[in-house]
Amino acid sequence: MLAVKTDKLTKNYGDFKALDELELQVIKGEIYGLLGPNGAGKTTAIKVLVGLLKKTSGTAQVLDIEIPNKQIASDIGFMPQETAMYIGLTVHQNMEFFGKLFGMTKEQIAIKEAELLKFVDLEDWKDELVQNLSGGMKHRVSLACTLIHEPDILFLDEPTVGVDPKLRANFWKYFNKLKENGTTVIITTHYMDEARNCDRVGFMRQGKLIAEGIPNEIMKDTGTDNLEDAFLHYATIGEASDGPTPDGGGE
Amino acid sequence: MDLGRILAVSKRVFIDLKNDKRSLALIIIAPLFSMAVFGLAFSGEVENIGVIIVNHDTGMDIPIVGDVDFADQVIDNIDHDTLDIQESDDLVTAIESLEAGDAWAVIYFSENYTANTMASIIPFTNASSEIELYIDMSNVNLAEAIIIEVNSALMATMEENGGSLPVTVERTEVYGQNAEFMDFFVPGIVSFAVYLFTTLLTLMAFIGERVSGTLSRVLATPLRESEIVSGYALTFSIVGTLQSIFMIVVGILAFDVMIEGNILLVFMVVALLAIVCQALGILLSSFAQREAQAAQFLPLIVMPAFLLSGVFWPLEAIPAWLRPASFLVPPSYSITAARSVMIRGWGLDMIWMDMVALVIFAMVLLTLAVISLKKKG
């Protein structure tokens, strides 16, 4: 059962191919990590899958529905790279607003809000304006708003950027809990070390998936002891077959 | 469209405005400030215009009647609050003072002024009498006030002496009896303020939404572009109405502005204008990449409305070839309608054309605003 399936998914900006015939398959209920350097196409892939960008060609299905399709929006949770919160509103007002966009009642919102604020450790900041919070706290509010409607599939674009190591560990615990409840989680990150927590990872480079697999198996296959070296291994093979690239190969 | 989501957006925008003290101040204090400035500066009469009178009139001794001096009578009939009169014996010195900018006009009565005036009253003599006026026309408003004052003093003197014009104008005021500048100005500034602040606030808010990523974020939820625009329209129509209520109440209390018609019609017109303006703000935001660029739109937003909407001077004062451009400026319809309701007491049957124009503007701009939000990379 696939949660996401793309076939030759391409996104062009003029002559630049942000996604180049991407073939991606994410199994329902797994945590899938999209890894790669800046400009590899991770964020573009996610934005196309959540319907924010128009694909140039190819096909993409999310939860068996061809996208773009607004019908699946209520089953999707999207946390963008930027904090993207209403900073003139309090934490509670933000959560209530996002809850209402998904048609939740006040009671449903109140229950879920209490649970999520406890999880992100912001119970005492509920009535504080978001603009008064630190960067890390804003990120935690952002995650809480993404989870308010208990989505079936989560697209998290660099969710742990600016989050301290202790809280980052908590985030991963929570992602695993979501997975246990059947939620599919797709995470982009350039923290290669934390990507070990994923069930499977896909390495992206120049809009393409250059390798994919279970983290431990990838490291075993490449004879490395970390995912960063594994990525470099595949990137070097790619460069050898592509010829030299203008930026020296990605990063 | 889902009403629950529209209301959620509307409430969110309300809270954002409520929590943003600077925006609140902008909405309330700035229009009041401009009302006060214009009210105090322009609503009063022109006063204390410096003029020099050179009176060489020797008068006339008429049997039975005695000494007659028309120049003195004219000078007595001049409103000394309007004209600040200095007297001089020498015309040349007086004109030099005028040329030096020490006075706005020199009024000269010749030696034979009374004699000539008497002669001109007698039929078939072909005699004429004149007051010589040397005037600085560099300030048209002051010059006109001087000319009007001298003419009315002259007319009053003629009437006192039994003379009158063969033809008089009988005036019946159909609308706006005792109307003053503020009666004309308040309906205009209300629409102008709502236009300006609604467009600016929406423009800033939407550039902020685009830059911060909140717009992308909410568009990845079930929320549709049309629901965002509707939510904003709902909030700003209410905010615009509240703003106009506030300004009109202050207008009544501080300047005693006249309200001859149904004031609810004015609020309806202003609410419609606010809907047009928020759509315009959203549309303009799609052309900006960051908040600082909003400032570049200011001339585009302010100048057409300032010059072509009729807020400060009537549309008839605009050159005929430029007048059709005012049809493209939404506040011109609400200003015309609000003035007609407040001063003429007109009802919906008379202002419906202006309202239809605003509805058409709203429909076109709302559609374009939704299209601009749907435009994806």
Query: Can you tell me the distance from the alpha carbon of A120 to that of A140, in angstroms, rounded to the nearest whole number?
Result: 6
- The enclosing H or E element of A201 equals strand A200-205
Residue B22 has pLDDT above 60, yes or no: yes
The answer to whether A101 contacts B15, with C-beta atoms less than 8 Å apart, is no
Residue B43 has pLDDT above 70, yes or no: no
Model pLDDT for residues A60-83, shown as the tens digit of each residue = 999 999 988 888 999 999 999 888
The answer to whether A73 contacts B220, with C-beta atoms less than 8 Å apart, is yes
Q: What is the pLDDT of residue A190?
A: 77
Please count the CA atoms within 13 angstroms of the CA of B96 that sit on its side-chain side. Answer: 6
Residue A248 has pLDDT above 80, yes or no: no
Q: What percent of chain A has pLDDT over 90?
A: 60
Contacts for B280 with CB less than 8 Å, ≥ 6 apart: B199, B202, B330, B365, B369
Is the Cβ of A161 closer than 8 Å to some Cβ of chain B? no
CB atoms within 10 A of CB B47: 11
Residue B162 has pLDDT above 60, yes or no: yes
Residue B146 has pLDDT above 50, yes or no: yes
* CB-CB neighbors (< 8 A) of B212 in chain A: 82-85, 87
* CB-CB neighbors (< 8 A) of B19 in chain A: 88-89, 129
Q: What are A9's strand-pairing partners?
A: A22
Among B16, B222, B376, whose Cβ lies nearest the Cβ of A102? Answer: B222
pLDDT band (50, 70, 90) for residue B140:
confident
Q: Which domains does chain A have, with CATH numbers?
A: 2-222 (3.40.50.300)
For chain B, the average pLDDT equals 88
The answer to whether A80 contacts B221, with C-beta atoms less than 8 Å apart, is no
Average pLDDT of span B296-309: 86
pLDDT band (50, 70, 90) for residue B361:
very high
For chain A, the average pLDDT equals 88
Q: What is the pLDDT of residue A121?
A: 85
The answer to whether A101 contacts B11, with C-beta atoms less than 8 Å apart, is no
Q: What is the pLDDT of residue B358?
A: 96
Of A124-133, B57-66, B110-119, minimum mean pLDDT range: B57-66
| End-to-end Cα spacing for chain B | 24
Of A81-90, A175-184, B157-166, B323-332, minimum mean pLDDT range: B157-166
* CB-CB neighbors (< 8 A) of A50 in chain B: 220
Q: Which of A52, A78, A86 to mutate to test the interface with B (most CBs of B within 10 A)?
A: A86
Residue B123 has pLDDT above 50, yes or no: yes
Work out whether strand A57-62 and strand A16-22 pair parallel, antiparallel, or are unpaired: unpaired
Is the Cβ of A13 closer than 8 Å to some Cβ of chain B? yes
Query: Can you tell me the distance from the alpha carbon of B132 to that of B141, in angstroms, rounded to the nearest whole number?
Result: 20
pLDDT band (50, 70, 90) for residue B166:
low
Sign of CA dihedral A151, A153, A155, A160: positive
Question: What φ, ψ does residue A15 adopt, rounded to 5°?
Answer: -85, -10
Token digits of residue B327: 């049809």
Work out whether strand B105-109 and strand B49-55 pair parallel, antiparallel, or are unpaired: parallel
H helices, E strands: number in chain A: 7, 11
Let me know: does B363 contact B226? Beta carbons within 8 Å: no
* CB-CB neighbors (< 8 A) of B222 in chain A: 70, 73-74, 101-103
Question: Is the pLDDT higher at B179 or at A48?
Answer: A48
Is the Cβ of A135 closer than 8 Å to some Cβ of chain B? no
Query: Can you tell me the distance from the alpha carbon of B119 to that of A106, in angstroms, rounded to the nearest whole number?
Result: 94
Residue B116 has pLDDT above 70, yes or no: yes
Q: What is the pLDDT of residue B77?
A: 94
Using the CB atoms, write b or e for A175-195: b if 16+ within 10 Å.
Answer: beebbeeebbbbbbbbbbebb
Residue B304 burial (C-beta neighbours within 10 Å; 0-12, 13-18, 19+): middle
CA distances to B80, B184, B185 from B43, in Å: 19, 10, 9
Query: Can you tell me the distance from the alpha carbon of B267 to that of B24, in angstroms, rounded to the nearest whole number?
Result: 19
Is the Cβ of A132 closer than 8 Å to some Cβ of chain B? no
Torsion of CA B340, B326, B359, B355, to 10 degrees: 10
> Nearest residue on chain B to A50, judged by CA atoms?
B220
Q: At what angle do helices B21-42 and B3-19 cross, to 10 degrees?
A: 70
Query: Can you tell me the distance from the alpha carbon of A227 to that of B154, in angstroms, rounded to the nearest whole number?
Result: 101
Residue B125 has pLDDT above 90, yes or no: no
pLDDT band (50, 70, 90) for residue A250:
very low
Sign of CA dihedral A138, A142, A147, A148: positive
- The enclosing H or E element of A185 equals strand A184-189
Token digits of residue A123: 């119970």
Nearest CA-CA distance, residue A144 and chain B, Å = 13
Q: What are A205's strand-pairing partners?
A: A208
Q: What is the pLDDT of residue A225?
A: 87
Q: What is the pLDDT of residue A244?
A: 45
Residue A114 has pLDDT above 50, yes or no: yes
Q: What is the pLDDT of residue A96?
A: 96
Q: At what angle do helices A215-222 and A227-242 cross, to 10 degrees?
A: 60
Report the SS3 class of residue A35.
strand
Residue B76 has pLDDT above 70, yes or no: yes
Q: Which domains does chain B have, with CATH numbers?
A: 3-42+180-374 (no CATH), 49-160 (3.40.1710.10)
Question: Is the pLDDT higher at A55 or at B168?
Answer: A55
Is the Cβ of B12 closer than 8 Å to some Cβ of chain A? yes
Using the CB atoms, write b or e for A95-106: b if 16+ within 10 Å.
Answer: bbbbbbbbebee
> Nearest residue on chain B to A94, judged by CA atoms?
B12
Q: What is the pLDDT of residue A169?
A: 84
ipTM above 0.85, yes or no: yes
Residue A249 has pLDDT above 60, yes or no: no
